[in-house]
A and B are shown apart, each in its own frame.
Chain A
C-alpha cells in the first residue's frame, strides 16, 4: 500500500508540476516556417495549440516536410532550442535533467548495491526452469490489468487472447507457472494504463526519472498508479503484512531485473553517457509498446541514402 500511495503521490505531483511547463508560447507552423527561413532559435509550441496545429500540418503538408514538422517535441521551460535540433529529433524533452540525473545516480547505486547482487544470487541458486516458472506466474498475475487495458484501448482481439492465455495458464499451466498458452501459439503481450493514455492521445510529458521505478514520464507514472489501484492483488493482499503485500512486487522487480541485467550492463559499456542512452531507449520502447510494434513509416526519420 505504501508503494501505491507513493507512486500515486509522485505521479500526481509530477503531473501537476508538468502543467505550467506545457504552456509556453509558439506553434508548429511557425516552427516549420522558421525552419524553412533557417532561423536558428525558436520558442517551443504551447500544448493548447498542439493538436489543432498538428492537424493543420497533417492536412497541408506531406512526406518529409510533414514528418519533420510533426516531430516537434513537448515544451520546455528553457524554451529555446535550435530548429536544427528539432528537425534532427535531437531535443530530449528533459527539462528536469539535473534532478533526473541525480535520481538516476541514486537508482544506479541501488542497482549496484542491492538489485544486481540479488539478481545474480537469484540466477545462481535458482535453476532456469524455476526462474522461468516464477516469471510466468508474475506475468499471469498481471492478466487482469492487461485485459482491462486491452478493453479500454478498444482491442477485442488482444482482449480475447489475454482471456484465453489467463484461462489456459491458470489451469493447464499450473496456476501460471507454465506458459502453456504460448506453447499453443497464443503469444503474450503487455498493456498498461500509461499505454492506454497514449492510445487516447494524452501526451507523455517531459522525461522523468522516478526513484526506484526508473525512466518514466508523468503519463507513465499516472498509469502505474492507476494499474496498481486497479490490480485485484493490491486489494486481495490489503490485510496482509507489509512483507506479504510486497512479495508480488518484489518478485516482479527481481525477475524483471534479472532478465534485463545483461542488456543493461552491455549498454553501460557501449554508451558514452548511460543516462542519455537509457532515456533514448525508454522513449523508443514506450512508443513502440503504445503502437503494439506497428511501424508508422511517416514517423520514421529520413535517412539520406546516396
Chain B
C-alpha cells in the first residue's frame, strides 16, 4: 500500500529533484553557485540557520551587519554545494520515513547515487501549507550544528569580532571550484 505523502515530504522531494537537476545541469563555478543561492532562497530558511549558527553571539551581531552576514552564509553554503556537486548527481530520492513534532518534521531519505544510496535527513519547518528546510543531515552530521561550532569557535578566538567571521565566509570564492 502506498502511503500519501505529507506536505513536508513533498517539499523535500521537490528540493532534492531541483538540487540533483542543478548538479547534473553541467553548470560550473560562479554560474552554478548563483543558481544554488537562488534555490536556497526558495526552499530553505537560511536566515534562521544563520542566526542559529551564531549561538550566543547572535544577539551581539549589529543590525548594520545582519543583511551582509545572512547573504554571506547563503553564499558560503552554496559554495559548499558547488564543491560537492558531484555527490548530488543522484538518480532520485526515496523517502524512508517522516516524523512530526510540533511545527518540525524530520524526513529520512536516501539519494540514489550510482550503485548505492546515500542517506540524507531533513528537518522541515511547516506553517500551514508553507514548508521550509531548516537543517540537513548528511552522513550523520547536521549542517547547522557544524556551522555553529565553526562560527562560534572563530568568534571566540577573535574576541567576538564579526569582521573576522565575514572575512572567513567571503573566502568561499578561493576554495570553490571555478
Contact = CB atoms under 8 A, between A and B. Distances in A.
Given A272-B168, A297-B104, A303 B80 contact: no
Name the residue among A88, A277, A289 with the largest chain B CB count within 10 angstroms.
A88
B43 interface: no
Contacts of B148: 88-90
Interface stretch (A103-111, A235-243, A244-252, A263-271): A263-271
B17 to A, nearest CB: 23
Given A90-B55, A90-B56, A270-B80, A276 B125 contact: no
Interface stretch (B5-13, B22-30, B31-39, B151-159): B151-159
B175 A285 contact: no
A301 interface: yes
Nearest to B106: A295
Interface in A75-113: 82, 84-85, 87-90, 92
B48 A304 contact: yes
Interface residues of A, number: 36
B150 A280 contact: yes
A271 B146 CA distance: 10
Interface residues of B, number: 49
Nearest to B152: A90
Nearest to B83: A266
Nearest to B101: A297
Residue of B49, B156, B174 with highest tally of chain A CB at under 10 A? B156
B106 A273 contact: no
Interface of A: 82, 84-85, 87-90, 92, 182-183, 187, 266, 269-273, 276-277, 279-281, 284-285, 287-289, 293, 295, 297, 300-301, 303-306
7 residue pairs, one from A and one from B, having the closest CB atoms: A288-B140, A280-B149, A269-B175, A88-B55, A84-B56, A297-B101, A276-B153
